[in-house]
Structure formats: C-alpha cells, structure tokens
Structure 1
Amino acid sequence: MKKPYLTEATIRQAFSFLKKRQEHAKTVKKKDWEAEFENCLKVIEELSARSR
C-alpha cells in the first residue's frame, strides 16, 4: 500500500501554511485573498471535525 497523502501531520502543515498566507494577505491589504484563505481554513476545520 502506498503512503497516505493526507495524514494528521500534513493537514496541520497545510493549515499552518494557509494561516501564514492569510496573515500576509492582511499585511498587503488584499481583502479578497484574505477571504479566500479564511474560506479554505474553515473547510479544513469542518472536514477535520467531521472525521473525528
């Protein structure tokens, strides 16, 4: 069996990356980017919560 792509560690890493990108969007004042990153973060949180 191949190594799974989505593990708890990789999901945490992706979440952390998106949080940093959202902070960057705030500093460069890109509200549309900030909203998109917020949406991605909410999706990850919802999917993670449903899987438990």
Structure 2
Amino acid sequence: MGSIGNVWDWAFFWNTFGFILGIVASFVLIIVAIYAVGLLLQMVVKAIRDRR
C-alpha cells in the first residue's frame, strides 16, 4: 500500500483553500470595520451626552 499523500493533490487543496480564505477575509474585514465604526460612534455619542 502506497503513501496516502499520493491520493490527495495538496497543491490544489492549498491553492483552493487560500483562494476561498482570501474571499472570506475581505467580507470579514468589512464586517469588523462596520462593527468598529459602530463602537466608535457609540462612544462619541455617549461622551457628548455625558458632557451636557
């Protein structure tokens, strides 16, 4: 019985995995940026309300 490494095309697997990860990472980055801006706006509004 041969090595199981010969069954899988690891180069194709990692290229596909990297491609999918690159696509998903951009969407995750957008979501995190929106969340961060929301937190920042919340802090600014709270600071303005507390000042009065």
For the criterion TM > 0.5, the same-fold answer is no
Q: Which bin holds the TM-score, normalised by the shorter protein?
A: 0.3 to 0.5
User: Which structure is richer in relative contact order (CA contacts within 8 A, separation 6 or more)?
Assistant: 1
Identify the structure with the greater helix proportion: 2
Q: TM-score, structure 1 length as denominator? A: 0.43
